[in-house]
Chains A and B, each alone.
Chain A
C-alpha cells in the first residue's frame, strides 16, 4: 500500500524524496514543503485522521470497515486492489459445521459477515500468517485479504466466498474538511485526476 500510495502521490507531483523504504524516518516533508507525511501501520491511519493529528490519510477499505472510525471517504484511489475472502481446505466446509471456527485479522468484518448469514462462529483473532491456521488445526476456515491467491494455494486453501473488495481510499478528518477546505480540495482534485488515470 505504501509504495502504491507514494507512486500515486508522485504522479500528482507530490514527492517525498526524503523518505525511503530503508530509512526509519516516519515523518517526511514533500519536496514543495506543502505536505507532511506520517508513516504509520495501516490500522493506525484511521486513528490519526479521526483525532485530527493528520488531516488526511490513505488506507485500505478493509482497514476502514474493520475500524469504527468516523471519517470522510471522498475518493477511491484504486490502488492496492485486493479481496477479503473466506478460505478453507474444502469449499463445503462453511455449511457442514454446527459451529465454525474462524481465524482472522478482521474480527469485526468476520462477525458481521457470518452474522448476516446466521452462521454461528467462534472468532479467533490472529495478527499475521493467518493462512497457516487451518492446516495446523486452529480453525476450520479463515477470513483474510487476498491479492493473487498464491499464498492460499501454497497452504492448501481455496477461496470459498468473497466478502468484499478493497482498494486504497483517501480519507479526511471531519473538522479539517471544513477548516482547511481549500488545501484539501486541491489535494483531492490532484489525486482524483491521477487516480482516474489508474482506473482507465
Chain B
C-alpha cells in the first residue's frame, strides 16, 4: 500500500509517459484489459502455480473472480478472440496495475504494481526477439538509466536440451532448475556427480558475460536442441552489437527462473538501486493456443513503481529534467 503525491507522482507519471511514447514510436497500440476477471483465465494464462498468487473472491453465482495478477493473460485471450481477425503482427501495449500476494519477506513487498508492458503477437522470427530487446533498451535509455542497467538474456531451450540429453525426469529437472536459479554451485556439483557423473549443469552457472560466453557454451553443450538455441542467442547478440546497444546487455545462461512459461528467448532487467529485478519478458509461443488460436508471441513488462523508486532516489535530478524536455518536443 503506498501513495504518490506531488513531485513523486509527477515523476511516476513522466516515467509512464516515457515508456508509452517509446511503445507508440514502435507502433504499439494501447490496450486496456479488465481489472476484475475470471480466475480461470489466469490459470490458463500464467499457469496454475503462478495464478495462485492472485487475490480471489467469488461472483454472485459462486464463480471465482480475481483482481488481475497479470495483463498478458488477458491480452492473449483478446488476441485469440476479439482481435483474431486483425492483421498480424498484433502490437499491443499497456500501463496497468496488477495485484499479487507477496510472501512476507519478499523484497518486492508491494501487492499492487503497475506494469508497463508490450506484446508482439503473430511474429515468431528473430527480428521480433530483437525488437523486444531494442524497445526495452530504448525505454531505459530514455529514462537516463543506460549506464546503470543490465538486461540479461537467455534461451530456455539451452536448459531444456540439456535436461533432455541427460533424460532428467520432471522431479530431477525441477531440482536442477531451482539449484541453477539460486546459483547453488556446491549442491549442483554434488547432484551432478551423484546422478549424472558430469559437471555440465554447474558449469552452466558460470556462463555469464558478453560474447565470449557463446564460445564457452559451445564447448559445453553438444545436443542439437541446445545448439540451435545457442545459435539464436549468438545471432541476437550480433544484432545487438551492430545496433551499438550491446553495452546494456549480458548473456546469462544461468537464468532459468520461468522455464515453464517461456518457449524461447527470456530476459530480465536489473537497475542499480533496485535490490530485485525491475522487469523481464520473453517468448511464449504456446500461451495463445490455450485460448484457441496457436500463434507465436513475445512480450515484456517493466515495473513502474520500482523504476520510480530508483529515479526518485537518484540525486542526479538533471536526467529527470531531460526526460521532461524530451516529451515536450
Is A172's CB under 8 angstroms from B183's CB? yes
Question: How far, in Å, is A88 (CB) from chain B's closest CB?
Answer: 30
A124 at the interface (CB under 8 A from B): no
Chain A residue nearest to B184 (CB atoms) is A73
Within 8 A of A (CB), among B12-47: none
B270: chain A residues at CB < 8 Å are: 174-175, 178-179
In the complex, A67→B150 CA distance in Å? 28
In the complex, A70→B102 CA distance in Å? 12
Which of B55-63, B68-76, B156-164, B273-281 participates in binding chain A? B273-281
A50 at the interface (CB under 8 A from B): yes
Asked whether A71 and B105 contact (CB < 8 A) given A178-B270, A181-B209, the answer is no
Which of A50, A51, A53, A74 contacts B184, CB < 8 Å?
A74
> Number of B residues whose C-beta is below 8 Å from A?
28
A69 at the interface (CB under 8 A from B): yes
B177 at the interface (CB under 8 A from A): no
A115 at the interface (CB under 8 A from B): no
Is B105's CB under 8 angstroms from A175's CB? no
Type the 1/0 row for A39-69, where 1 means its CB is closer than 8 Å to any CB of B.
0000000110011110000000000000111
Question: How far, in Å, is B105 (CB) from chain A's closest CB?
Answer: 4
Is A72's CB under 8 angstroms from B250's CB? no
In the complex, A173→B105 CA distance in Å? 14
> Number of A residues whose C-beta is below 8 Å from B?
25
Chain B residue nearest to A52 (CB atoms) is B275
Is A71's CB under 8 angstroms from B274's CB? no
B171 at the interface (CB under 8 A from A): no
A47: chain B residues at CB < 8 Å are: 105
Within 8 A of A (CB), among B240-286: 250, 252, 268, 270-272, 274-277
Q: A-B contact count, CB below 8 Å?
A: 69
Question: How far, in Å, is B212 (CB) from chain A's closest CB?
Answer: 13
Main secondary structure of the interface of A (DSSP, over half): mixed
Is A179's CB under 8 angstroms from B209's CB? no
In the complex, A71→B184 CA distance in Å? 10
Chain B residue nearest to A72 (CB atoms) is B183
A76 at the interface (CB under 8 A from B): yes
Is B274's CB under 8 angstroms from A52's CB? yes
Chain B residue nearest to A169 (CB atoms) is B186
A12 at the interface (CB under 8 A from B): no
Is A52's CB under 8 angstroms from B186's CB? no
Is B186's CB under 8 angstroms from A178's CB? no
In the complex, A148→B250 CA distance in Å? 46
Is A175's CB under 8 angstroms from B275's CB? yes
Which residues of A are at the interface with B, using a C-beta cutoff of 8 A?
A: 46-47, 50-53, 67-76, 172-175, 177-181
Q: Please, could you name 28 A-B residue pairs with CB atoms under 8 Å apart, sorted by A? A: A47-B105, A50-B106, A50-B107, A50-B276, A51-B107, A53-B275, A68-B104, A68-B106, A69-B105, A70-B276, A71-B182, A73-B182, A73-B186, A73-B187, A74-B183, A74-B205, A75-B186, A172-B183, A173-B275, A174-B270, A175-B270, A175-B277, A177-B183, A178-B252, A178-B268, A178-B270, A179-B149, A179-B271
